Homo-oligomer: A and B are copies of this chain.
Amino acid sequence: MSVKQIILGILSWKASTGYEIKNEVEYSGRQLGWGKMSYGSIYPTLKELQQEGLITVQESNTTNRITKVYDITSKGWLELESWIEEPSAYPITKDDLLIKMSFWDHVRSSDDDTILISKLEERKNETQNLLNHFLQWENNEVSTIGRVAFFSMDYVKSKLETELKWIEKTLTSIKIGENLKAKDPNNLIRKSSKRKQGSLEINDWSEL
């Protein structure tokens, strides 16, 4: 992963403490689709970055509380620049609902769609929340949006909107019972159904 670079990047915005870095990842990074970043990840990485000379620390021992403000060094800036120019891996998405839906027809033989519908509706709410968070972030008075960063914001926004449209479309399609392009040329789904029944019968049998 790129925990190191994300931390460096956030420090390029503004010198910060470990605690602030986590908040920044979860507030500004949320709409960008970054995940979360745990302290167990942040503090050890800050130590490493410091040892590599990419960041510096300013410790403030006011009364008896230690806070450490980290800032990026010249070496850190160069590291960030060369990382940006490096080739990037194609994005990877871990989407459990989507994975489940691709196994759905083989696993659940029933026509009852209540579970699927509730899952889609839950997803719709979460996505709508993210979009709201996003719009609020975009339009508040403090957010910095650079020329290039704007494009990435625009991307995330259109992705979220596309997702919402898809959910709507899918929900109506389920409710009116459309059949669409479903196909099973090798009868794999029917076979799955039989294999499943077979194995469950054997199981019943052995339980007697």
Contact = CB atoms under 8 A, between A and B. Distances in A.
Interface string A144-186: 1111111110111011001101100110011000011111111
A184 B126 contact: no
Nearest to A147: B182
A93 to B, nearest CB: 4
A102 interface: yes
A152 B180 CA distance: 13
A81 to B, nearest CB: 6
A108 B151 CA distance: 15
Interface residues of A: mostly helix, strand, loop or mixed?
A: helix
Interface string A179-208: 111111110110110011001101100000
Interface residues of A, number: 96
A155 to B, nearest CB: 5
A143 B94 CA distance: 23
A98 to B, nearest CB: 5
A66 interface: no
Given A14-B188, A199-B77, A147 B90 contact: no
A30 B88 CA distance: 18
B105 A147 contact: yes
Interface centre among A95, A142, A156 (most CB of B within 10 A): A95
Among all A-B residue pairs, the 5 with the closest Cβ atoms = A105-B146, A74-B203, A91-B95, A88-B96, A104-B148
Interface of A: 1-2, 5-6, 9, 12-14, 32-35, 71-77, 80-81, 83-85, 87-108, 115-116, 119, 122-123, 126, 138, 141-152, 154-156, 158-159, 162-163, 165-166, 169-170, 173-174, 179-186, 188-189, 191-192, 195-196, 199-200, 202-203
